[in-house]
Amino acid sequence: MNRRSYRLEEIAHLVKGEYFGEKDFQVFNLASLEQAQNQHICFVNGDKYLSQAEASQAGAYIVTAALKQQLSSKNNFIVVDNPYLAFATLTHIFENKIIQRGISSTAKIHPSAIIADDAYIGHYVVIGENCVVGSNTIIQAHTFIDDQVEIGKDCFIDAHVTITGAAKLKDRIRIHANTVIGSEGFGFAPYQGKWHRIAQLGSVQIGNDVRVGSNCSIDRGALDDTILEDGVIIDNLVQIAHNVQIGQHTAIAANTAIAGSVRIGKNCIIGGGSAVAGHLNIADNVTLTGMSMVTKSISEAGTFSSGIGLFENSHWKRTVVRLRQLADVPLIQITKRLDHMQAQLESLESTLKLRK
């Protein structure tokens, strides 16, 4: 059974902070500053939220020491160095957890599969031959785990997920609803006006602490494996093609498409709606802003963008016309015009100096 409330002193201990105020004050849940009531705790993540905190009805606040001094009208605090990180920790404390364990009567599991005694296998789950499901892992209803798939401990596999291609998942992985892992990669050989399917012989390897959102597709490799290293986080509706390798702690936002055989480094951030063309390499610590289109490798860390920013419609139309007109002018002609303008400016500057 999930616990319903915590004392202020307990919460301070859980987030490694220091409490001020009534140590036995009962906190029943987290809430936003705007919606909080007296039984809630909120976090204040900077000076710009102080006015909202002053107006809030929350019973307790997670703050830095400096912010506490500015909230003199409030009584109960937990002081930490990073309120947002403390908030993230507390979301796990108040989260409604699945406490069921065992195998549902409607699940179909091959006799050769190895299922940990404290795992949970939901209704109508199918688990194939020689599969492994680790300790404390939860697999929700209607999920299909194909032959030879291995899933580690403390994982969460949501409903209607398909894991195939002899994929290997390590520990503390979260896969959300309707995602497909290990499906056939998009490999075809063109010959005489037809496409000839290439059988995909690789697999998928997913490291520890990886999160994959809902409705994603992660293809198995053609020969080498598709690899997601430790700590990778992936939003909803992301396509990762065959043979892609993604480095540790890289984050990929929704509606992104990564083409085949791309290598993405560690600690990268890929904004929503981006696309990366096949067989490219992206260095460590690269950030791509939303809607970026990557058509060549990126060899150095930094922030990169592409596309045209938003304009009012009539302004956008004029801009497109000018771009088309510019494209019709030979580059050498533009260069000559710029050189001529620069010479005129230099001559004008010299004349003004002589007059002084």
Candidates 97, 96, 86; CA nearest to 60 is 86
Q: What is the mean pLDDT of residues 28-32?
A: 95
Q: How confident is the model at residue 182, as a pLDDT?
A: 98
Q: 16-20, 275-279, 321-325: which has the minimum mean pLDDT?
A: 321-325
- pLDDT exceeds cutoff 60 at 345: yes
Q: How confident is the model at residue 78, as a pLDDT?
A: 97
pLDDT band, residue 1 (cuts 50/70/90) = low
pLDDT band, residue 208 (cuts 50/70/90) = very high
Q: 80-94, 106-120, 220-234, 309-323: which has the minimum mean pLDDT?
A: 309-323
> What CA–CA distances, in Å, run from 145 to 149, 152, 209?
7, 13, 20
Percent of the chain with pLDDT over 90: 85
Q: How confident is the model at residue 196, as a pLDDT?
A: 97
Beta-carbon contacts of residue 164 (< 8 Å; ≥ 6 apart): 144, 146, 149, 180, 181, 182, 183, 220
Q: What is the mean pLDDT of residues 289-293?
A: 95
Whether 242 is catalytic:
yes
Cβ contact 175:193 at 8 Å: no
> What CA–CA distances, in Å, run from 54 to 23, 58, 71, 118?
21, 10, 7, 46
Q: If phi over 0 gives left and psi between -120 and 50 gives alpha, with beta otherwise, what is residue 99? A: alpha
Q: What is the mean pLDDT of residues 125-137?
A: 98
pLDDT band, residue 347 (cuts 50/70/90) = confident
pLDDT band, residue 4 (cuts 50/70/90) = confident
Q: 108-122, 228-242, 299-313, 334-348: which has the minimum mean pLDDT?
A: 334-348
Q: How confident is the model at residue 337, as a pLDDT?
A: 79
Token digits of residue 180: 């497909």
Residue from 242, 249, 279, 315 carrying the catalytic annotation: 242
Angle, CA of 27, 31 and 33, to the nearest 5°: 115
> What CA–CA distances, in Å, run from 142 to 101, 194, 218, 236, 241?
16, 37, 19, 19, 25
Q: How confident is the model at residue 24, as a pLDDT?
A: 96
> What CA–CA distances, in Å, run from 116 to 57, 104, 140, 207?
46, 14, 15, 20
Q: What is the mean pLDDT of residues 43-66?
A: 96
| DSSP per-residue letters across 111-174 | TT-EE-TT-EE-TT-EE-TT-EE-TT-EE-TT-EE-TT-EE-SS-EE-TT-EE-TT-EE-SS-E
Q: 118-122, 154-158, 336-340: which has the minimum mean pLDDT?
A: 336-340
Q: What is the mean pLDDT of residues 69-91?
A: 95
Taking the CA atoms of 88, 89, 93 and 96 in sequence, report the sign of the dihedral they define: positive
pLDDT band, residue 322 (cuts 50/70/90) = confident
